[in-house]
C-alpha cells in the first residue's frame, strides 16, 4: 500500500491529532465484505503479530505506515474475539502486550450524567488513575475532564512519554476523556498530553485527581491504590461525634509537618509520616491536646507557600512518604484519642504550567477575567465557582479527605477572599455581582453546599472558617441564613489581645479595652481563639518575643496570656513551638528549637501548657457553654488602673463554675478583694506563677475562704494574693 493511499483517519492517528482514536484502533468490522480488522499504532515496534490468549500466532500484522501503523484482517471472523500482541523490536527481542483499544470504557452512563450535571459527589472514584481489573486484565483506568481539547493522551514511563501511544476516548456528554491501560500498576509515573481547541499542544499536565505525586521538584503524577490500607480506628470513628460538638473541649495544636522536628543526623531532613506518627502524636498526647491541625498537606510545588498553594488537591505531599503512610499517621492520631483537622484551600491555586491553569487550552477551572480569576497578592488563580463541574471537583475533594483519610475537620483557608469580589482589590479591579454588590454569590453558594454535605455525610466531622471580616452568621446553619460552618477563627480577639500583651505593663492601663472588647461579640459565632502560624512569621517574631520585659517577665507574660486564653469563651488553637517559648520566628526551612527545653524556664512553659490542657479537659465549665452568654460573667472588668481582670466561667451544672483573676502587671497584689456568690472554701486549682513553671510561687497557699464582705454586687468576697504577671483560678471545694 502506497503512502498516498493511506486512509486520512490512519494518517491522523499517526500525526496524533485524531479526536476519536477508538473508532480506528482496536478491533472493528472490516467493511461491507465482512470480517474484522485489528489496527494498532506501535511506533517502537519493527513487527507485530496478533496472538491468542495462549500465545499462538493468529496472524502477522501488515505495516501500512512507516511510523508504525499496523493492520491485520480476519475475513472469516464474524465477531470480536480476545487477542494480544507480540512485538518484535528493532534491536532484537520480543514482548507481549494487551491492546488498550480492545477494552470498553470504565466510565458508566450514570457517572457521565452526574459528572456533566456537576453532582457526582464521589467523582474521585472515576476521574484520575485507578488500578482495576477489566475483562479479567489488570491495569489502570485513566480519566480526565478536558471538554475543550481536540485530543488528550495519557503519557508516562510505561509508554516513553509518547503522546502518540495512548490517545484517549472522549465522552462528549460530559467532556471526560478516558482509557484503560493494561498491565501497569502502582507507582507508574504519568501526565496528560492535551492538544487545545486551536490545535496547540499544552504543557504536559499533572492529573487534577492524582492521589500520589512525584517528589518535588519533579511534577509527574503517580498511580496509587487507595483500597489496600487497613484502618484500625473504628472505635474513634464510631464515637467521633462526641469529640467535636460545641459543648466539648477542643484544644488544637497547629503544625507544619515539614518543620516541626528535623533529623540533624540525616541531612536535617523532615520526619516522615510514620516517624511523626510516633514522635509528634506522642508529644501531642503528652501535652493533652484534643486535636491537631495540619497546615495543608496537599502536594505543592513551592515549599515556601507552606502548602497554601496546592497543585494536587487529592494527594498528600510525597516529601514525607506515600499516601498510606499519611493514613497511618491519621490512624495513630485516632488511636491516641486525637482528632485531625486539615487546612483546606478551595480559594485559589498556583499558576504552575503543569497545574490546573488553562488546563485544556481554555480557562477551565479559573475565571477568564483576571478581575475575577486572579489574586495579585499571591500570584494565584481563583476557581470559577459558577461552573458546576468546578464546584463538583472541590466538593468531591472535601468529601474525599473525610472518606478516604478519615479526616475529622476541615479548616477552610482565606474565606474572606472567596466571598468578597473586591477582596484586596482597587475599585477598578473587580466586577460587581448581578445585583451590583461585592458578594461572590457563587462562592457563597459553594461554601454553604460544602458545609451541608460534610455535616450530612460524615457524623462527627466539622468545618471551621478562617474569615477575617464581620460577615454575619459564618458559623450558623444554612437554613437560618448562615454559611453553615461549625466554627470560626476569632481574628478580632487574636489581634486585640496580642496588641495588649505586647505593650509594657506600665502602658496597659490605657488599653484595657483590648482585653474586654471581645466579650461584646463573643457569642455571635462559635469561635475558636487562634494563635496561629500567621502571628509568628514575616517579621512578627515568635509569641515569646512579643512579650515585654526581661526573660522572667516574658515567660510570666506568656503563661499569663495562655491562661487568659484558656479561661475565655471559645475553643483553643496554638501554633507549634509557642507552648515552650520558641525564641526565633518560625522558619519553614528549619526545625523548632527543641534544644531550648534543656532550660528550665522553657520546659516550665511547656509544663504550664500541659497542665492548662489537663485542667481545661477535666473542667466542664471551661468549655460547655462557650457559645452561650450564660457561661461567662464579669466580676470586675473595670480595674484598668491596676490592669486586673476577674470573671466567672459557668457550666451547665449551676454548682460548676470557676473564678479567674488575671494580673497583667509585674506587681504582686495583696488583699485584692473580689465578690463571689457563696460563703465557701475556694481551692486555688491553677496558678500560672507556680515555681514548677518558672514563676515566683506567689499565691494563696492552695485555698481561700470567702467571708461576708459584699463586693461587686455579690454577698461574699475573697481576699486574694495575686502573683505578678500571673493568673489564678479558683473552684469551690468539694462538699
Beta bridge mates, 634 = 647
Nearest to 557 by CA among 669, 696, 664: 664
Instruction: Tell me the C-alpha distance between 592 and 586, whole Å.
Output: 8
What angle (nearest 5°) sits at the alpha carbon of residue 243, between those of residues 416 and 618? 115
- Characterize 469-493 residue by residue with b for buried, 16 or more Cβ atoms within 10 angstroms of its Cβ, and e for exposed: eebebbbbbbeeebbbbbbbbbbbb
Q: At 627, phi and psi to the nearest 5?
A: -110, 20
- Compute the 3-state secondary structure of the chain and give helix, strand, coil in percent, each to the nearest 5: 30, 25, 45
Residue bearing cell 457553654: 625
Instruction: Tell me the C-alpha distance between 400 and 316, whole Å.
Output: 12
Cα 197 to Cα 23, 150, 152, 207, 360: the distances in Å are 20, 5, 11, 19, 8
Per-residue 3-state assignment (H helix, E strand, C coil) for 567-592: CCCCEEEEECCHHHCCCCCCCCCCCC
Q: 5 Cβ partners below 8 Å, 6+ apart?
A: none
Q: Which three cell numbers stand for residue 15?
A: 500525526
Instruction: Tell me the C-alpha distance between 672 and 719, whole Å.
Output: 5
Instruction: Tell me the C-alpha distance between 142 and 127, whole Å.
Output: 7
Q: Is 279 considered catalytic here? A: no
Beta bridge mates, 349 = 381
Instruction: Tell me the C-alpha distance between 160 and 44, whole Å.
Output: 10
Question: Within 13 A of 267's CA, how many CA atoms are on the CB side?
Answer: 2
Q: Is 413 considered catalytic here? A: yes
Give yes or no for a contact between 725 and 666, defined as CB atoms under 8 angstroms apart.
yes
Q: 142 Cβ partners below 8 Å, 6+ apart?
A: 128, 129, 154, 168, 178, 179, 180, 181, 190, 207
Q: Which of 98, 178, 193, 413 is catalytic?
A: 413
Instruction: Tell me the C-alpha distance between 542 and 527, whole Å.
Output: 23
Instruction: Tell me the C-alpha distance between 476 and 461, whole Å.
Output: 16
Instruction: Tell me the C-alpha distance between 488 and 465, whole Å.
Output: 5
- Characterize 199-222 residue by residue with b for buried, 16 or more Cβ atoms within 10 angstroms of its Cβ, and e for exposed: eeebebbbbbbbbbbbeeeebbbb
Among positive and negative, which fits the CA dihedral 451, 455, 457, 460? positive
Instruction: Tell me the C-alpha distance between 684 and 662, whole Å.
Output: 13
Sheet holding 26-29, edge to edge: 26-29, 36-41, 69-74, 62-65
Residue bearing cell 520585659: 549
Give yes or no for a contact between 443 and 419, defined as CB atoms under 8 angstroms apart.
yes
DSSP at 598: G
Count of residues in the chain? 735
Give yes or no for a contact between 248 and 571, defined as CB atoms under 8 angstroms apart.
no
Instruction: Tell me the C-alpha distance between 210 and 511, whole Å.
Output: 51
| Cis, bond preceding 378 (omega within 30 deg of 0) | no
Give the SS3 label for residue 717. strand
Question: Within 13 A of 344's CA, how many CA atoms are on the CB side?
Answer: 28
Q: Which of 325, 466, 514, 535 is catalytic?
A: 466
Phi-psi region of 119 (alpha: psi -120 to 50; beta: other; left: phi over 0): alpha
Q: Which three cell numbers stand for residue 442?
A: 457563587
Specify the DSSP element, H or E, that contains 615. helix 600-618
Residues labelled catalytic = 413, 466
Amino acid at each position: 500500500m502506497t503512502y498516498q493511499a493511506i486512509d486520512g483517519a490512519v494518517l491522523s492517528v499517526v500525526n496524533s491529532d485524531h479526536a476519536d482514536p477508538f473508532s480506528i484502533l482496536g478491533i472493528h468490522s472490516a467493511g461491507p465484505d465482512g470480517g474484522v480488522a485489528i489496527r494498532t499504532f506501535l511506533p517502537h515496534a519493527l513487527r507485530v503479530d496478533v496472538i491468542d490468549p495462549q500465545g499462538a500466532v493468529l496472524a502477522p500484522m501488515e505495516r501500512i505506515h512507516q511510523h508504525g501503523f499496523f493492520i491485520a484482517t480476519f475475513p472469516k471472523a464474524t465477531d470480536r474475539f480476545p487477542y494480544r500482541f507480540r512485538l518484535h523490536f528493532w534491536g532484537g527481542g520480543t514482548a507481549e502486550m494487551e491492546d488498550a483499544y480492545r477494552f470498553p470504557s470504565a466510565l458508566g452512563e450514570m457517572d457521565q450524567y452526574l459528572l456533566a450535571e456537576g453532582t457526582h459527589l464521589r467523582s474521585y472514584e472515576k476521574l484520575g488513575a485507578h488500578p482495576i481489573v477489566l475483562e479479567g486484565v489488570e491495569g489502570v483506568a485513566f480519566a480526565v475532564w478536558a471538554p475543550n481539547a481536540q485530543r488528550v493522551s495519557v503519557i508516562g514511563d510505561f509508554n516513553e512519554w509518547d503522546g502518540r501511544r495512548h490517545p484517549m476516548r472522549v465522552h462528549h456528554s460530559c467532556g471526560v476523556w478516558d482509557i484503560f491501560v493494561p498491565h501497569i500498576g502502582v507507582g507508574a509515573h504519568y501526565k496528560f498530553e492535551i492538544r487545545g481547541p486551536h490545535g496547540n499542544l499544552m504543557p504536559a499536565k499533572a492529573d487534577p485527581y492524582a492521589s500520589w505525586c512525584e517528589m518535588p521538584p519533579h511534577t509527574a503524577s503517580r498511580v496509587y491504590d487507595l483500597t489496600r490500607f487497613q484502618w484500625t480506628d473504628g472505635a474513634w470513628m464510631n464515637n467521633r461525634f462526641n469529640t467535636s460538638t460545641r459543648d466539648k473541649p477542643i484544644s488544637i495544636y497547629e503544625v507544619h509537618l515539614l518543620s516541626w522536628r528535623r533529623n540533624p543526623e540525616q541531612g536535617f531532613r523532615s520526619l516522615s509520616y510514620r516517624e511523626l506518627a510516633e514522635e509528634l502524636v506522642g508529644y501531642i498526647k503528652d501535652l493533652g491536646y484534643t486535636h491537631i491541625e495540619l497546615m495543608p498537606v496537599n502536594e505543592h510545588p513551592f515549599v515556601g507557600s507552606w502548602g497554601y498553594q496546592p497543585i494536587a488537591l487529592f494527594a498528600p505531599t510525597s516529601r514525607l512518604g506515600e499516601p498510606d503512610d499519611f493514613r497511618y499517621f491519621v490512624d495513630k492520631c485516632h488511636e491516641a484519642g486525637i482528632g485531625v483537622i486539615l487546612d483546606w484551600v478551595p480559594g485559589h491555586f498556583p499558576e504552575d504550567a503543569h497545574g490546573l491553569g488553562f488546563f485544556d487550552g481554555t480557562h477551565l477551572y479559573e475565571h477568564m477575567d483576571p478581575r475575577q480569576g486572579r489574586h495579585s497578592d499571591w500570584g494565584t488563580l481563583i476557581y470559577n465557582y459558577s461552573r458546576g463541574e468546578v464546584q463538583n471537583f472541590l466538593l468531591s475533594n472535601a468529601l474525599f479527605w473525610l472518606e478516604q483519610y478519615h479526616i475529622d475537620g476541615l479548616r477552610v483557608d482565606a474565606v474572606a477572599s472567596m466571598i468578597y469580589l473586591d477582596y484586596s482589590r482597587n475599585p477598578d479591579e473587580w466586577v460587581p455581582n448581578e445585583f451590583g454588590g461585592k458578594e461572590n454569590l457563587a462562592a457563597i453558594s459553594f461554601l454553604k453546599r460544602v458545609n451541608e454535605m460534610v455535616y450530612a455525610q460524615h457524623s462527627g466531622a466539622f468545618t471551621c472558617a478562617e474569615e477575617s471580616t464581620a460577615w454575619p452568621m459564618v458559623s450558623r446553619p444554612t437554613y437560618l441564613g448562615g454559611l453553615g460552618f461549625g466554627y470560626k477563627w476569632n481574628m478580632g480577639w487574636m489581634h486585640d489581645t496580642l496588641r495588649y500583651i505586647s505593650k509594657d505593663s506600665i502602658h496597659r492601663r490605657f488599653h484595657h479595652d483590648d482585653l474586654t472588647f471581645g466579650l461584646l461579640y463573643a457569642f455571635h459565632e462559635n469561635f475558636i481563639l487562634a494563635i496561629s502560624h500567621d502571628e509568628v512569621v514575616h517579621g512578627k517574631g515568635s509569641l515569646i518575643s512579643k512579650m515585654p520585659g526581661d526573660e522572667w517577665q516574658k515567660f510570666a507574660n506568656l503563661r499569663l496570656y495562655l491562661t487568659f486564653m484558656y479561661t475565655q469563651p471559645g475553643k483553643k488553637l496554638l501554633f507549634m513551638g509557642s507552648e515552650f517559648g520558641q525564641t526565633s520566628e518560625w522558619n519553614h526551612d528549619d526545625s523548632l528549637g527543641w534544644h531550648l527545653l534543656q532550660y528550665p524556664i522553657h520546659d516550665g512553659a511547656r509544663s504550664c501548657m500541659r497542665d492548662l490542657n489537663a485542667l481545661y479537659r477535666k473542667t466542664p465549665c471551661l468549655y460547655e457553654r462557650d457559645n452561650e452568654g450564660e457561661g461567662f460573667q464579669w466580676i470586675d472588668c473595670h480595674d484598668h488602673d491596676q490592669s486586673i481582670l476577674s470573671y466567672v466561667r459557668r457550666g451547665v451544672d449551676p454548682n460548676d463554675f470557676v473564678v479567674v483573676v488575671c494580673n497583667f502587671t509585674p506587681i504582686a497584689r495583696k488583699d485584692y478583694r473580689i465578690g463571689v456568690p457563696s460563703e465557701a472554701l475556694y481551692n486555688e486549682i491553677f496558678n500560672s506563677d507556680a515555681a514548677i513553671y518558672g514563676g515566683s510561687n506567689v499565691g494563696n497557699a492552695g485555698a481561700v475562704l470567702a467571708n461576708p464582705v459584699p463586693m461587686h454586687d455579690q454577698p461574699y468576697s475573697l481576699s486574694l494574693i495575686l502573683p505578678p504577671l500571673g493568673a489564678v483560678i479558683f473552684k469551690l471545694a468539694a462538699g
